[in-house]
Chains A and B, each alone.
Chain A
Amino acid sequence: MFKQTAAITAMNIRSIPQRLGMSLAAIVSIAFVVGVLLAFMAMANGFCATVSGTGAEDVAVMLRAGSQAELNSNMSRDEVLLVERGPGIAAGGNGAPVTSAELYVIVDGKKRGSGTDANLPLRGVGPEGPQMRAGFTMTEGRMFEPGAAELIVGEGVIREFSGFELGEEIRLGTNTWRVVGVFSTGGTVFDSEIWSEIGVLQNLYSRGSSVQSMRAQMTSPEAIEELQAYVENEPRLNLDVQSEKEFLASQAGGTVTLIKFLGWPLAVAMAIGALAGAWNTMYSSVDARTKEIATLRAIGFSGFAAFLGTMIESLALAILGGILGAVAAYLLFDGISASTLGGGFTQVVFSFAVTPASLIAAMILAIIVGFLAGFFPAMRAARVPLLAVHQD
């Protein structure tokens, strides 16, 4: 059976040049399906990795209860002090709890590519704030001075937005700031932010002593539960406490779901179109070789071998299309930088990521198209009437 199937498959594959146009159309249409699906998945993967990928499990994030995002949250100075007395928070070198009360405001930025305005987050951080982001490093310039209207800018902002270069003096609202440094957190969501010292931001934006969120470095991931219990039992606190990883995942979830819900239906709709094309190609292939198949059957080849040979041809075309689409998607999309609206109504800069899992999913879709496109033509091949040997 193997020799029969191999012989028929080899003949089928060798005869593809006789149907080159149709075969290429089938390959290209499947490549488009795979390419489009991978583009959407790369976008979703990249966004997800940026927003939630590197959230720490031992950093607690606190927002006002019921707030979906930092922008909607508000915490008083008293609440901050109460949290700092909570259990499970790591102590710094001076014995003080390692926390960062933070303020989060929206400023305008101009996209390099389109020149359009988009929202950017300006975050006021406490002295411990930068070190609570894993991988934080200053890549250029220096840290802002306490009390000065100075900014440090994430690498993602520099990449995607104009006017934030090191040394630039920029006007945000009614205030003038100077960019004194560029920082990186290794491609996380914080690279899409602009940071200043929190006291300066509170003053310039007239926020008094209020903040919007608070981060606390915990002694361990499990210690977050102790802090949650403390906050729940403290009647003066009305906060949601979760790990930074959970918080960032919840911020990414909506956008990732939206991207995937756009990508899959589009890919499936295209797959149906590609299926029709591949189906037509395979029927043509069988029809063109009716006499050959009948001759092989007359010689003694089995109908099952004819079925398998046609199926393998269809799957080969689909896999070829899948590989072409995957390579094109990888070359075109993997690693490219883009920005989109994140959970805080601000732009998140992220890199498209064509991952092995999404490549496997796209190839499975291509194989399903190949299987469906080949099945009924293969059935026809298996049932070619032997009397077709006499066709002229």
Chain B
Amino acid sequence: MTEPLYQLTDLSKRYTRGKESITIFEKLTMTIPAGDFIAIMGPSGSGKTTLLNLLGGIDAPSSGEVVFEGKRIDNMSQGALAKWRAANVGFIFQFYNLMPTLTAAQNVELPLLLTKLGGKERKQRVRTALDIVGIADRAGHRPTQLSGGQQQRVAIARAIVADPEVLLCDEPTGDLDRATADEVLATLQLLNKELGKAIVMVTHDPSAAKYAQRELHLDKGRFVEKELVT
């Protein structure tokens, strides 16, 4: 039996605000196999983004374990987590989170600056990533010179350029119109199917969720799973 990409065990997340303790979810257990494409849905405040943060190592659980390819990440130091993220995770955010002073190519190159690749090889990889998402002709443009859909494509290129195992997407189409959203989702689906990238996508949008292999509905700290035909 192959090792799952993620194994979450008894995962809990609580926030303390003053004297009040707010439980986001309690003892959540789930497995994400390699190459999976999951859409996580649920009402606002259900903990979708919190779960994504825990998967990406940018937040720590209150208790429980997050295991990635057999290795616990929830107890890693900040430095070790940064290196783990650089090697294994690509993030895609709702508002793209591109660096406004950099060109599209320079934005895409950022994760490669954390590798030992030389300048020439970095440039080549950047071009390949931009080609995959179909925006190579905008390589020299700054984010302000690009449409929302183009910016999200640049963000996807940035997420895949270092060839991570998993893409964590937080409402990737939340800021886009329907047609553009469909193009972006089709790109994500392509990355999943052709390149084998595991994708965990948080979304409110049922149409977006249809691009995934399965939907997980998070509500009151519990999952309700639904297999999709894609």
Interface flag for B67 (CB, 8 Å): no
B55 CB to nearest A CB, Å: 12
Q: How far is the CA of A303 from the CA of B78 in the complex (A)?
A: 9
Contact B101 A4 (CB under 8 A): no
Given contacts A11-B99, A389-B97, contact A299 B110 (CB under 8 A): yes
Interface flag for B206 (CB, 8 Å): no
Query: How big is the A interface, by class?
Result: 20 to 34
Given contacts A3-B113, A7-B110, contact A298 B58 (CB under 8 A): yes
Given contacts A387-B58, A390-B170, contact A302 B82 (CB under 8 A): yes
Interface string of A372-392 (1 = CB under 8 A from B): 000000000000001101101
Interface flag for B72 (CB, 8 Å): no
Q: Determine the residue in chain B with the shortest Cβ distance to A2.
A: B113
Cβ contacts under 8 Å, A3 to chain B: 113-114
Q: Which of A43-51, A159-167, A288-296 contacts B (4 or more CB under 8 A)?
A: A288-296
Contact A302 B79 (CB under 8 A): yes
Cβ contacts under 8 Å, A299 to chain B: 85-86, 91, 110-111, 114, 158
Cβ contacts under 8 Å, B170 to chain A: 390
Q: Determine the residue in chain A with the shortest Cβ distance to B116.
A: A3
Q: Which of B57-82 contact A (CB under 8 A)?
A: 58-59, 78-79, 82
Contact A386 B58 (CB under 8 A): yes
Q: How far is the CA of A31 from the CA of B101 in the complex (A)?
A: 27
Choice from B78, B87, B110 contacting A296 with Cβ under 8 Å: B110
Cβ contacts under 8 Å, A392 to chain B: 95
Q: Which of A1-25 contact B (CB under 8 A)?
A: 3-4, 7, 11, 14-15
Given contacts A11-B99, A11-B102, A301-B114, contact A387 B91 (CB under 8 A): no
Q: Determine the residue in chain A with the shortest Cβ distance to B171.
A: A390
Contact B82 A300 (CB under 8 A): yes
B62 CB to nearest A CB, Å: 15
Q: How far is the CA of A303 from the CA of B91 in the complex (A)?
A: 18
Contact B113 A15 (CB under 8 A): no
Interface flag for B56 (CB, 8 Å): yes
Interface majority SS on A: helix, strand, loop or mixed? helix
Q: How far is the CA of A303 from the CA of B100 in the complex (A)?
A: 20
Interface flag for A297 (CB, 8 Å): yes
Interface flag for B29 (CB, 8 Å): no
Q: How far is the CA of A199 from the CA of B151 in the complex (A)?
A: 93
Choice from A7, A303, A389 contacting B58 with Cβ under 8 Å: A389
Q: How far is the CA of A302 from the CA of B59 in the complex (A)?
A: 16
For B78, B91, B101, B102, the residue with the greatest tally of chain A CB atoms inside 10 Å of its CB is B101
Cβ contacts under 8 Å, A14 to chain B: 101-102
Q: Determine the residue in chain B with the shortest Cβ distance to A302.
A: B82
Interface flag for B37 (CB, 8 Å): no
Cβ contacts under 8 Å, B79 to chain A: 302
Q: How far is the CA of A3 from the CA of B86 in the complex (A)?
A: 14
A312 CB to nearest B CB, Å: 15
Q: How far is the CA of A291 from the CA of B58 in the complex (A)?
A: 13
Given contacts A4-B114, A15-B100, A389-B91, contact A301 B59 (CB under 8 A): no
Q: How far is the CA of A14 from the CA of B86 in the complex (A)?
A: 24
Interface flag for B93 (CB, 8 Å): yes
Contact A11 B78 (CB under 8 A): no
For B56, B58, B83, B87, the residue with the greatest tally of chain A CB atoms inside 10 Å of its CB is B58
Interface flag for B53 (CB, 8 Å): yes
Q: Determine the residue in chain A with the shortest Cβ distance to B97.
A: A295
Interface flag for B49 (CB, 8 Å): yes
Q: How far is the CA of A184 from the CA of B56 in the complex (A)?
A: 79
Q: How far is the CA of A291 from the CA of B96 in the complex (A)?
A: 11
Q: Which of B101-129 contact A (CB under 8 A)?
A: 101-102, 110-111, 113-114
Contact A298 B85 (CB under 8 A): yes
Q: Which of A274-329 contact B (CB under 8 A)?
A: 291-292, 295-303
Cβ contacts under 8 Å, A301 to chain B: 82, 110, 114
Q: Determine the residue in chain B with the shortest Cβ distance to A295.
A: B97
Given contacts A4-B113, A387-B53, contact A300 B86 (CB under 8 A): yes
B100 CB to nearest A CB, Å: 7
B79 CB to nearest A CB, Å: 7
- 9 shortest interchain CB distances as A-B pairs: A300-B86, A14-B101, A386-B58, A295-B97, A3-B113, A300-B114, A300-B85, A300-B82, A15-B101
A-B contact pairs, 25 of them (CB 8 A): A3-B113, A4-B114, A7-B110, A11-B99, A11-B101, A11-B102, A14-B101, A15-B100, A291-B97, A292-B97, A292-B100, A295-B91, A295-B99, A298-B91, A299-B85, A299-B158, A300-B111, A301-B110, A301-B114, A386-B58, A387-B53, A387-B58, A387-B59, A389-B93, A390-B94
Given contacts A292-B100, A386-B58, 12 further A-B contacts (CB under 8 A): A7-B110, A11-B101, A15-B100, A15-B101, A295-B93, A300-B85, A300-B111, A300-B114, A301-B114, A386-B59, A389-B91, A392-B95
